[in-house]
Amino acid sequence: MISTKRIEDTICQLFQTAVINLPSDVKSALQEAYEKEESELGLLNLKAILDNIDMAEKMEIPMCQDTGLPIIFVKMGPVEVEDLYQGIKNGVEKATEEIPLRPNVVNPISRKNTGTNIGKEIPQIDIELIEENHLELTVFPKGFGSENNNALKMALPGEGIDGIKKFVVETVIKAQGKPCPPVVVGVGVGGSSDMAMKMAKKALLGKLGQRNQDKLIAQLEEKILAEINQSGIGPMGLGGKTTALDVKILTADTHTAGLPIGVCIQCWADRHATAILKP
């Protein structure tokens, strides 16, 4: 049995890790961007980002004032769990109070803030059933400076790979400096409209620099990344060589008449943390 309290404590700890300590692959990508940058403003902004990351770790405070919308990805095997939903909600509320997280959750119409990061249908929870005998929890605090620049296109099948590349690149270029580049770009291709957007978000959890196992998709990731970085938008939109740290693509089979393309943009703070709980 995995208790509600254990889930609560784990979720709280994961949020603390995610908002304070950036994953090593993201830090390495930012450091690499700094080392190859030639623009004076690009260097200045990347140094500020790297200093910010270092200071957040030393002072044990969130690296960004926008601690995001609480999104939790769950992989659940054949294990007995006391109360998964309540444990997650308790963990988010505890993290909000103790870390603290900025209370970001509001009613979409009245804009009244709940004050706890708990609300109707929030935290957002995605559950995937797996065969392994454990419960895997991943927290993904998603800031809305980047989230507001996401896009979906229900493309026609004839648009093909070129159409996918064009839409993703255009979406990032349209965003300019609003999502706090250098960004990570998640792309979902296939499924239905909502599935494409969900895959795009899940793609942001992948390790930076690690290519898709499908060689055709891997080539597409590299081509899109190169074209985005040729735009010159650069760090914080003020010019430079690195506009995107990486492009990650996930795919699913789809209907014969469609080609859904979802794009989810993440700022340089690609924050997420994972834990595995065994009975």
| Helix segments in the chain, DSSP class H | 4-20, 24-36, 40-59, 84-98, 144-147, 160-175, 193-203, 215-229
Check: CB of residue 179 under 8 Å from CB of residue 149.
yes
Tokens linked to 240: 């430079």
Residue 261: per-residue pLDDT: 98
Radius of gyration of the chain (CA): 19
Q: What are 138-193's pLDDT values in tens digits?
A: 999 999 999 999 999 999 999 999 999 999 999 999 999 999 999 999 999 999 99
- Domain ranges for the chain, please list them: 4-17+63-141, 144-266
φ, ψ dihedrals at 145, nearest 5°: -60, -35
Cα 7 from Cα 14, distance rounded (Å): 10
- Average pLDDT score over residue span 211-221: 97
Give the model's pLDDT for residue 193: 98
CA distance between the termini of the chain: 5
**CA 121 – CA 196 distance, rounded (Å):** 20
